[in-house]
Amino acid sequence: MKKILLTALATIFMVGAMAQEAKLTVPMGVFVSNDTEIVPAYAQSILENKMRQMVTTHGVGSLDSSSFFITCFVACTDKQVLGGAPVKVIQKVETTFYIADIHTKRLYESVTLSHEGIGKSENEALANAFNSLNIRSSQISSFIASANDKIVDYYESQLDFFIAQAEAVAKLGDYNEALFILACIPDVCEGYERVNETALRIYQIMIDYDSLIALQHAKAAWASSHSYEAAVAACEYLAQVSPYSTCYAEAEALAAEIKAFGVDEHSWTREQTEQFRNWYYQHQDRRLEAWRDVGMAYGNNQQPINYEVWWH
């Protein structure tokens, strides 16, 4: 019994040590070009499924909103047609997979796999060639692990630079861009709590500023005339005030005033009354996700995802 206990403890310590040495995984998106010179049209869906299986099988995880993505390039190297009935086509293919960062255009890793397929036509042979890809192979495993480690190493080495860059941009009032810079950093990086702290501070400044502007518009709309139309206009502005902003209490008080006026002097529909009553419950405490959403949305809008073949 004592020997078994010692063995179990040794195993626990060994697993713990391995976990400390291993890099945590970075979620990746999947992209297959619709350019038939890069990937044949009838193989595009097959390869997309294969790549999604690659990242999930090797514990990375598929996340299309990620800055990092896996893609591929296909080269048909040889084709043989065997006579007889029915005719058989043997198609040899080399598929090169790449892992890169769409926003920085950094290529982290690539691997080329040779495979072949047999079919009654060239298309069928190619489809079978792609289906024959072994996503559990040691080559694929090493490819993904290496890319993951390089991504984490790069961002960890540049962490101070990116945080300083985001803070400098935020001082200029470009809060969305600042959050985008921070959102590109993988959350598995060591020291990521500093990224979160910086992002939350910038996010708070941003929502305070935006909420104050919205509140001022709401006050102006309501002050113009205590009418139904003014109340509706004011409420639309109030809906833009974040519950986490410093002016939220003031906005809540204005909402209560508008609601009381409307209920007392107007025959409002149940939906409109409910809108006022539940106004301040519309947001959940998800600021950690919210700042990343804001940053990535800004990045994608400023530079739409354009998968040119810079990675080949």
* Helix (H), strand (E), coil (C) string for 65-110: CCCEEEEEEEEEEEEEEECCCCCEEEEEEEEEEEEEECCCCEEEEE
Q: What is the pTM of this model?
A: 0.72
Overall average pLDDT of the 268-273 stretch = 47
For 13-69, write each residue's pLDDT tens digit.
333 333 334 466 888 888 888 888 888 888 889 999 999 999 888 877 767 767 889
Overall average pLDDT of the 277-289 stretch = 49
Structure-model confidence comparison of residues 220 and 87, the more confident one: 220
pLDDT band at 242, cuts 50/70/90?
A: confident
Structure-model confidence comparison of residues 83 and 160, the more confident one: 160
Cα–Cα separations (whole angstroms), residue 46 to 105, 178, 215: 25, 38, 51
- Which of 131, 138, 66 is CA-nearest to residue 95? 131
Q: What is the pLDDT of residue 24?
A: 65
Q: What is the pLDDT of residue 105?
A: 84
Q: Which residue has 């040899």 as its token pair?
A: 92
Q: Give Cα 166 distance to the centre of its chain.
A: 19
Q: Give the span between the Cα atoms of 91 and 75, in whole angstroms.
A: 11
Q: What is the pLDDT of residue 7?
A: 38
For 257-267, write each residue's pLDDT tens digit.
887 775 443 44
**Domains defined for the chain, CATH in brackets:** 2-155 (3.40.50), 158-312 (no CATH)
Candidate from 6-15, 136-145, 185-194 with smallest mean pLDDT: 6-15
Q: What is the pLDDT of residue 260?
A: 78
Is residue 8 scored above 70 in pLDDT? no
- In the predicted model, what is the mean pLDDT of the chain? 79
- Which of 240, 108, 243, 101 is CA-nearest to residue 183? 101
Q: What is the pLDDT of residue 187?
A: 86
pLDDT band at 6, cuts 50/70/90?
A: very low
Overall average pLDDT of the 185-198 stretch = 91
**Overall residue count recorded for the chain in this entry:** 312
Is residue 240 scored above 50 in pLDDT? yes
Is residue 147 scored above 60 in pLDDT? yes
pLDDT band at 1, cuts 50/70/90?
A: very low
31, 50 Cβ separation under 8 angstroms:
no
Is residue 127 scored above 50 in pLDDT? yes
Q: What is the pLDDT of residue 14?
A: 36
